[in-house]
Amino acid sequence: MLLQQLINGLMLGASYALIGVAFSLILGIFDMLNIAIGEVFMLGAFFGLALVTRGMPFLPALLIAMVLAGLVNLVVERFAFRPLRGTPPVIPLLSSIGFSMLLTDTAVNVWGSERTQFPPSVRVLNFELGPILVSSVQLVILGTAVLLMVVLHLLVERTKIGRGMRAVAENPETASILGVDARRVIVTTFFASGALAGAAGMLVGLTFSVISPFIGIEIGLKGVVAMVVGGAGNIQGAMLAGPILGIAEVLSVAYLGAVYRDVVVYGLLILVLVVRPQGLLGAVERARL
């Protein structure tokens, strides 16, 4: 049924939105594309796995996994971006690609290369809303994703550090003259981006029940697609594009077959680039640090 597939797609798209926002947050402020976000997402899933297998409830495991993923992203910033600040954008991009390979190899050495079962950490209850069946797992995934995006929006729009982020994005030199602590803005942005990616990793593990060290590649690309479709660097755009991609993917599997899943998603990316290159909500003006 169409309504059921739309609900399923919305749940999947919530995770895509989170990782798309993680990419957009850094690109929109620093004009940098951190490819290693995909692997930070993967590590967030494994951090969550390690915690829930030891009996930790879902919510504390999620919060700790987010903190650990945020710290990993700070390591990425320290070694892949900070030494290269001021260089052409392609240089830190290549550096982040190298770091993503390093993180993947590290995960393979720690957890192995095979798929790992993600244990259920939320009690499964099914709710019938007319013809639609919604599980408690789906509600937790959607509720968590929406809550995190609301918190991020409030952080960016209503706090002092958020005003600093916007000031640095507009003009880093002027922001520095006005007393904005650029170092604090960088640390907060990279930590928040990594934490969102880590949350997405744990939610995807909860959705599919299996994870591997290589999921960061596929899901990371979907996050980049969400970022571009929504508008490169536009946080609200990524929030909108994530559910659209999730619905498109689920509908393609349901009505065309699983082999067309990626064809539809990446076809949508090409269509948006041809028809509306700035994305659904428009790419933001970005400034380099």
- pLDDT given for residue 97 in this prediction: 94
- Is 149 within a domain? yes
Domain assignment of residue 132, given as a range: 15-224
- pLDDT given for residue 124 in this prediction: 67
- pLDDT given for residue 285 in this prediction: 55
Domains of the chain: total: 1
- pLDDT given for residue 1 in this prediction: 73
- pLDDT given for residue 171 in this prediction: 76
> How do beta strands 116-117 and 210-211 pair?
antiparallel
- pLDDT given for residue 102 in this prediction: 95
- Is 31 within a domain? yes
Per-10-residue mean pLDDT, the chain, length 289? 86 92 90 93 95 91 96 95 87 93 95 89 74 83 92 91 85 78 90 96 89 92 94 91 94 90 92 92 58
- Is 280 within a domain? no
- Is 274 within a domain? no
- Is 264 within a domain? no
- pLDDT given for residue 288 in this prediction: 39
Distance CA 179, CA 227 (A): 30
- Is 198 within a domain? yes
Beta bridge partners of 132: 129
- Is 173 within a domain? yes
- pLDDT given for residue 86 in this prediction: 80
- pLDDT given for residue 289 in this prediction: 37
